[in-house]
Structure 1
Amino acid sequence: MSALLEVSGVSVTFDGFRAINNLSFEIGPAELRAIIGPNGAGKTTFMDIVTGKTKPDEGRILWGELGRSLLKMNEAQIAREGIGRKFQKPTVFEDQSVQENLLMALKKDRGPFRVLFWKPAGEDLDRVADLAEEIGLAEELTRKSGELSHGQKQWLEIGMLLAQEPRLLLVDEPAAGMTPAEREHTTEILVEAARTRAVVVVEHDMEFIRRLDCRVTVLHEGSVLAEGSLDHVTADQQVIDVYLGR
């Protein structure tokens, strides 16, 4: 199976500091992957590069079956290609209901006039109901998003990304600040999402990663230090020295 995203030989330097150093990484079209590593390992910069926020000094990033270069695209074009990113802090429209947030996020033609006169069709409402079911907010559709718990806001934001039908979802520390029950449900959402798309989860919480039960990539000083199952990478002496031994 060919890769959906292929990063090869990528490096990026900020003011003399090499944040990413000859990094190579690939992920298949329906795969769940966790990325771990100490602070400063390059996890956030990696996501910045894939989403077009940061341009690397060297290397290539190929996307999709045709192997098109992401480096020739800007952030908006990359988002339209189907790469979605969720940051640590949830950003939802707090004064709008859960249903309204999901409707706004649906993948639609967003010309200026269409936005002004757009009314959701039955199929839009059905899609939103399905999404709400998938993220565990089916009972909260009419609630204002600002009233949701921290974990529920995280789910809503994941739902808003899923509404855009991404082929690759980048998720930054989804379990932070969640209750054990919320973390359990977050695991289910991400595992389910990865059945039909690539999902990359950057996380520090080892127990959460164990629940994801997926391939793990360990970054250190901007390069891949180890890759494999969680048991495999946590038994690696280099990983223990630079990350787990802290």
Structure 2
Amino acid sequence: MKTLLEVSGVSKSFDGFKAINNLSFAIAPVELRAVIGPNGAGKTTFMDIVTGKTRPDEGQVLWGDMSHSLLRLSEAQIARAGIGRKFQRPTVFEDQSLADNLTMALKAPRGPFRVLRWKPTEDSGKRIAELADEVGLGDRLHRKAGELSHGQKQWLEIGMLLAQEPQLLLVDEPAAGMTLAEREQTTTLLRRLAETRAVVVVEHDMDFVRRLNCRVTVLHQGSVLAEGSLDHVSANPDVIEVYLGR
């Protein structure tokens, strides 16, 4: 199987606590994956390592066809390489319109003179409209982001990540705080996005994970406890013991 991201033998300790313990993980260029596990399982540290926020004590994080090491890159370089991360709490510019939020996120040269001279074009306007449509907000382009519901802000932030044309999306607990209708729309959105790129969803809500209908990786004490379909991992005695409960 062709691999987009490969995490191999990675470990990370904080003040003697091993948050990640010989973790290995791989995902294909076009795949939807759910990562679940109890609090303290290492899910956030895993994402921190992949995005360059945290450096592991040992192991490799390889990226792309040429298996480049991400450990040599800064957070900004990793983002430019094609990895986007959405945190649990949406971070959008609430006093700006949806169109302005998406405009600021568009992939473009970021030098100071380039930014000062940048002007919207017909192509950029078309791209902004496409992004808004893709996340189900095409009819709200000129509304302020602060007027959106919690779920809509989550979709806007996903749209802002898509503006960077990522090959891998890391999405942290997207269902938290959403209405049932928003959750269903988010499931549809994530499944559709995974038709053209890799999407990793870190989630606690097992009903939401079931709706994603994808391969599941269970983390425990910083390493992979089980992997497979949700039905497969849910039947694993170790997963039942440490996460699902008897």
TM-score range, shorter chain: over 0.9
Which residue in 2 is equivalent to 1:224? 224
Structural mapping, 1:75-224, within 5 Å:
75-224=75-224
Across the aligned residues of Structure 1 and Structure 2, the Cα RMSD in angstroms comes to 0.8
Which residue in 2 is equivalent to 1:37? 37
Structure 1: give runs of 5+ residues left out of the alignment: none
* Deviation of the 1:148 alpha carbon: 0.5
Structure 2: give runs of 5+ residues left out of the alignment: none
SS of equivalent residue, structure 2 residue 142: coil
SS of equivalent residue, structure 1 residue 8: strand
Aligned-residue sequence identity (percent) comes to 75
SS of equivalent residue, structure 1 residue 19: strand
Does 226-235 or 120-129 show the bigger shift? 120-129
SS of equivalent residue, structure 1 residue 190: helix
Q: TM-score, normalised by structure 2?
A: 0.99
SS of equivalent residue, structure 1 residue 33: strand
CA distance in 1, matches of 2:200, 2:223: 16
CA distance in 1, matches of 2:113, 2:236: 57
* Deviation of the 1:2 alpha carbon: 1.5
Equivalent AA in structure 1 for residue 113 of structure 2: F
CA distance in 1, matches of 2:30, 2:69: 20
Equivalent AA in structure 2 for residue 88 of structure 1: Q
Which residue in 2 is equivalent to 1:57? 57
CA distance in 1, matches of 2:110, 2:8: 34
SS of equivalent residue, structure 1 residue 217: strand
Equivalent AA in structure 1 for residue 96 of structure 2: Q
SS of equivalent residue, structure 1 residue 61: strand
CA distance in 1, matches of 2:162, 2:53: 21
* Deviation of the 1:91 alpha carbon: 0.3
Equivalent AA in structure 2 for residue 140 of structure 1: R
SS of equivalent residue, structure 1 residue 3: coil
CA distance in 2, matches of 1:136, 1:76: 28
Q: How many residues align?
A: 246
* Deviation of the 1:117 alpha carbon: 2.4
Once the two structures are superposed, residues 160-214 of structure 1 have per-residue CA deviations (whole angstroms, 9 ceiling, x without a partner) of 0011000110000000000000001111111111111110000000110111110
Following TM superposition, the consecutive aligned residue runs of length 4 or more in structure 1 with deviations greater than 2 angstroms are none
* Deviation of the 1:114 alpha carbon: 1.9
